[in-house]
Amino acid sequence: MIPLPDLLATRRVGAVLAQVLQGGDVVAMLGDLGAGKTTLVDACVVALGGEGASSPTFALVQEIACAATTVWHADLYRLERADEVVELGLEELLGNPRGVSFVEWADKHQVLPRSCLRLTLHHVGQGGEGSQGGQGSQGRDERALEIEGVGPRGRELAAAFQAALAAVVPAPSAC
């Protein structure tokens, strides 16, 4: 698990991910609502020279032109039926060597190719289940990132991502 003590840490990790992605890579973004999936994708897209990514309102797949690649950002949260997934045309995009794909809520439907990187964002922290009176939201906004590689390219990508993260010198804490 990679600790993400604040928003900046999540954004920094997104920027590091941009260094190791190649055309055809697929990244499954997992974790609860508000865990930081879109935030991480946005930071990665910006590092790739794109304008950024946002939570989709109508379009469930957004195509984002970046400096040297294209990013497809899909969010399956609102998709209920398998035929809607087919209509999205995701199958043709995922693994397309012209760009990189991110799929939020990827586990809701069977869309992932054999090889992919699975990134799970976890809420960490205090004020969780053990707290009284439902005051958990007053805890700090900490997250942790779990990195898993599936299939040959997924495992290679996970290893490259972890190595790139390890090479980043942690910034001194601001206080």
Ligand X SMILES: Nc1ncnc2c1ncn2[C@@H]1O[C@H](COP(=O)(O)OP(=O)(O)O)[C@@H](O)[C@H]1O
Name the site residues for ligand X (rule: CB under 6 A): 4, 6-7, 9-10, 31, 33-39, 55, 104, 141, 143
Which of ligand X, Mg ion, none binds 69 (CB below 5-8 Å, type-dependent)? Answer: none
Residue nearest ligand X, CB atom distance: 36
The values of phi and psi at residue 13, to 5°, are -65, -40
Which helix (H) or strand (E) segment holds residue 43: the answer is helix 37-47
Q: Does 73 bind Mg ion (CB under 5 A)?
A: no
Mark residues 91-130: x for contact with Mg ion by CB under 5 A, - for none: -------------x--------------------------
Burial of 37 from C-beta contacts in 10 A (0-12 / 13-18 / 19+): buried
Pick the piece of the chain touching Mg ion (CB under 5 A) from 29-37, 57-65, 85-93, 112-120. 29-37
Task: Find the part of the chain contacting Mg ion (CB under 5 A) among 47-55, 85-93, 111-119, 134-142.
Answer: 47-55
List the one residue from 37, 118, 143, 153 that touches Mg ion (CB under 5 A).
Answer: 37
Q: In terms of CB distance, is 75 or 115 closer to ligand X?
A: 75
Rounded CA-CA distance 122/144 in Å is: 5
117 in Cβ contact with 28 (< 8 Å): yes
Looking at 38, 101, 115, 120, which residue binds Mg ion (CB under 5 A)?
38
Residue of 34, 35, 42 lying closest to 12 (CA atoms):
42
153 binds, options ligand X, Mg ion, none, Cβ within 5 to 8 A by partner type: none
For the chain, what's the residue count?
Answer: 175
Nearest by Cα to 39 from 12, 72, 1, 79: 12
With binding defined as CB under 5 A, does residue 39 bind Mg ion? Answer: no
The residues pairing with 70 across neighbouring beta strands, listed in sequence order, are: 65, 99
